[in-house]
Amino acid sequence: MFTPRSLSMVAAATVLALMAGCAAQNPYDPNTQVPQEGGVSKAAKYGGLGALAGAVAGAAINHDNRGKGAMIGAAVAGLAGAGYGYYADKQEAQLRQQMQGTGVEVQRQGDDIKLIMPGNITFATDSANIAPSFYTPLNNLANSFKQFNQNSIEIVGYTDSTGSRQHNMDLSQRRAQSVAAYLTSQGVDGTRVSTRGMGPDQPIASNADANGRAQNRRVEVNLKALPGAQGTAAPQQQYQ
């Protein structure tokens, strides 16, 4: 059972982890249009939550000294969570800056980052050949992916509902593969890259009108932490 002393040590460890996350350089800036989340960076939030979970686990493991176990668990888990959270903060901020004015949307959910590339800049109708307007965003992505190398890169192609389902499934897969092939040709590690063709599935707008169909014809790039990255990503080592 937790004693008042051990509970106070858990609380202290959590506060310290949050303070460490807040003290880290905050890449959010109004010019990059990244949410402030009440002034607390995602790194601080994830570090604090990780510290709390680690404190409970550490106290449970160390039966002889629950207070000491809580402090150790909080420190280890808090640093791991804040480490990758800060890493993802930096990558998100860079991508938002690079994608400004290109039509590419950057979304963030937890530690995952998603880029949505609309059909009007990616491919011509019924083609898997990269459009001229798509090269600048792709070159920026390749540079970012080479600098930030602690996440996997899933490329997903989509179409509207016009035409047969099989044709759209094949087309969306070929488009995803075209993007993957170009990124790897620019030096991105191919072992990090995977592709999927979703065809007309998971539309983000109505296919009943031209505007909606244009939104559905898109390519999405999903960035997730590589196995083990959340515990090892060290901002000062992974990007300078």
- 111 and 131 in a single domain? The answer is yes
List CB contacts of 221: < 8 A, sequence separation 6 or more: 114, 115, 117, 141, 153, 154, 155, 156, 179
CATH of the domain at 167: 3.30.1330.60
Least confident of 5-9, 35-39, 41-45, 223-227: 35-39
Q: Look at residue 16 and tell me whether its pLDDT is greater than 80.
A: no
How sure is the predictor about 235, in pLDDT bands with cuts at 50, 70 and 90?
very low
The C-alpha atoms of residue 93 and residue 97 are separated, in whole angstroms, by 6
Query: Strands 105-109, 112-118: parallel, antiparallel or unpaired by DSSP?
Result: antiparallel
**Residues 171, 126 contacting (CB under 8 angstroms):** yes
Tokens of 160: 């509207």
- 211 and 118 in a single domain? The answer is yes
- 138 and 44 in a single domain? The answer is no
Burial 196-219 (b: 16+ CB within 10 A, else e): ebbbbeebeeeeeeeeebebbbbb
Give the domain extent around 160: 104-238
Residue 84: what pLDDT? 72
Average pLDDT over residues 57-73: 53
Last residue of a domain, one of 51, 67, 97: 97
- 198 and 138 in a single domain? The answer is yes
The C-alpha atoms of residue 203 and residue 212 are separated, in whole angstroms, by 9
Residue 40: what pLDDT? 53
Residue 228: what pLDDT? 72
- 61 and 93 in a single domain? The answer is yes
Which of the residue ranges 16-30, 62-76, 100-114 has the most confident prediction, judged by mean pLDDT? 100-114
Q: Look at residue 68 and tell me whether its pLDDT is greater than 70.
A: no
First to last CA, the chain: 45
Tokens of 192: 């990090």
Last residue of a domain, one of 97, 128, 162: 97
- 48 and 108 in a single domain? The answer is no
- 203 and 149 in a single domain? The answer is yes
Alpha helices by DSSP H, the chain: 4-23, 42-61, 66-99, 119-122, 135-147, 165-185, 210-216, 229-232, 235-238
How sure is the predictor about 76, in pLDDT bands with cuts at 50, 70 and 90?
very low
Residue 202: what pLDDT? 96
Last residue of a domain, one of 97, 125, 140: 97
Q: Look at residue 102 and tell me whether its pLDDT is greater than 50.
A: yes
- 127 and 213 in a single domain? The answer is yes
Tally of domains within the chain: 2
Residue-level length of the chain: 240
At position 196, the amino acid (one-letter code) is R
- 50 and 134 in a single domain? The answer is no
In percent, the amount of the chain with pLDDT more than 70 equals 61
Q: Please tell me the pTM assigned to this model.
A: 0.67
The C-alpha atoms of residue 106 and residue 91 are separated, in whole angstroms, by 11
More confident residue, 169 or 26: 169
- 176 and 203 in a single domain? The answer is yes
- 113 and 231 in a single domain? The answer is yes
- 168 and 68 in a single domain? The answer is no
Q: Look at residue 36 and tell me whether its pLDDT is greater than 60.
A: no
Helix (H, G, I), strand (E, B) or coil at 132: helix
How sure is the predictor about 227, in pLDDT bands with cuts at 50, 70 and 90?
confident
